[in-house]
Structure 1
Amino acid sequence: MLRVRALEELMIAKGLVTPEALDRVVDYYERETGPRNGASVVAKAWTDPAFKAWLLSDGTEAIHSMGFKGYQGEHMRVVENTDNVHNVIVCTLCSCYPWPVLGLPPAWYKGSAYRARVVREPRAVLAEFGLDVPERKEIRVWDSTAEIRYMVLPQRPAGTDGMSLEQLATIVTRDSMIGTSLIATIV
Structure 2
Amino acid sequence: MSHSHHHDDHDHHHEHDNRYSDMQARVKALETLLAEKGLIDPAAIDAIVETYETKIGPRNGAAVVAKAWSDPDFAEWLKQDATDAIASLGFTGRQGEHMRAVFNTPDTHNLVVCTLCSCYPWSVLGLPPVWYKAPAYRSRAVINPRAVLEEFGLTLPSTKKIRVWDSTAELRYLVIPEKPAGTEAMDEAQLAALVSRDAMIGTAIAGQPSEETA
TM-score, normalised to structure 2, is: 0.75
User: Are 2:43 and 1:43 aligned?
Assistant: no
Indicate the residue corresponding to 1:129 in structure 2: 152
Q: Compute the displacement of 1:183 (Å).
A: 1.4
Q: Compute the displacement of 1:57 (Å).
A: 1.0
| Aligned CA distance change for structure 1 residues 167 and 2 (closer, same or farther; 3 Å) | farther
User: Are 2:134 and 1:116 aligned?
Assistant: no
Q: Compute the displacement of 1:4 (Å).
A: 3.2
Indicate the residue corresponding to 1:103 in structure 2: 126
- Between the aligned partners of 1:176 and 1:68, the Cα distance in structure 2 is 18
- Asked which structure has the greater RCO (Cα within 8 Å, sep 6+), the reply is 2
TM-score, normalised to structure 1, is: 0.85
Select the residue among 44, 53, 57 that pairs with 1:34: 57
Indicate the SS of the match to 2:27: helix
What's the Cα RMSD here?
2.4
- Between the aligned partners of 2:30 and 2:85, the Cα distance in structure 1 is 37
| Aligned CA distance change for structure 1 residues 73 and 124 (closer, same or farther; 3 Å) | same
Indicate the SS of the match to 2:193: helix
Indicate the residue corresponding to 2:178 in structure 1: 155
Deviations 1:77-110 (A, max 9, x none): 0000000000000000010000000000000000
- Between the aligned partners of 2:114 and 2:30, the Cα distance in structure 1 is 24
CA contact (8 A) 1:86 1:140 kept: yes
Q: Percent identity?
A: 60
- Between the aligned partners of 1:118 and 1:2, the Cα distance in structure 2 is 25
CA contact (8 A) 2:61 2:125 kept: yes
How many matched pairs?
174
User: Are 2:205 and 1:164 aligned?
Assistant: no
Indicate the SS of the match to 1:74: coil
- Between the aligned partners of 1:145 and 1:10, the Cα distance in structure 2 is 34
Select the residue among 82, 90, 97 that pairs with 2:113: 90
| Aligned CA distance change for structure 1 residues 74 and 33 (closer, same or farther; 3 Å) | farther
Deviations 1:11-35 (A, max 9, x none): 9xxxxxxx9xxx9xx79x8399510
CA contact (8 A) 1:33 1:99 kept: no
CA contact (8 A) 2:194 2:208 kept: no
CA contact (8 A) 1:73 1:100 kept: yes
**Which 5+ residue runs of structure 2 have no aligned equivalent?**
1-23, 35-39
- Between the aligned partners of 1:50 and 1:162, the Cα distance in structure 2 is 18
Indicate the SS of the match to 2:153: coil
CA contact (8 A) 2:83 2:98 kept: yes
- Between the aligned partners of 1:103 and 1:172, the Cα distance in structure 2 is 14
Q: Compute the displacement of 1:133 (Å).
A: 1.1
